[in-house]
Amino acid sequence: MAASTIMWLDEANRTTQFELAGTHPDYRRLGLGRATLLHAMHLAQEAGARHMTVACLGAPGHPTARGLYCSVGFREFTRDAPLIKSGG
């Protein structure tokens, strides 16, 4: 498999959540991730989605992921803070 994404449609809220869009390392920088997301977004719209979200590892350490999602029209909405529970 060269590229893939998972999407979940919430019909009641007309929202699609994308997870884990990715491309095999041997096929990166060929536009496959972008094409996969654009096709999935089209399918989501056909299924009734009017809003789309993605949980992106867009922190400074993952600029490529953020760039991919921004290239297909996603924009930053919020940032999650990791929750950590120390032992003890």
Domains of the chain and CATH, by start: 3-71 (3.40.630.30)
Spell out the SS3 assignment of the chain: CCEEEEEEEECCCCEEEEEEEEECHHHCCCCHHHHHHHHHHHHHHHCCCCEEEECCCCCCCCHHHHHHHHHCCCCCCCCCCCCCCCCC
Average pLDDT, the chain: 87
Supply the pLDDT for residue 59: 59
Higher pLDDT, 39 or 55: 39
Q: What is the pLDDT of residue 1?
A: 92
Specify the pLDDT at position 58: 57
The whole-number pLDDT of residue 7 equals 94
Residue 87 clears pLDDT 90, i.e. is over it: no
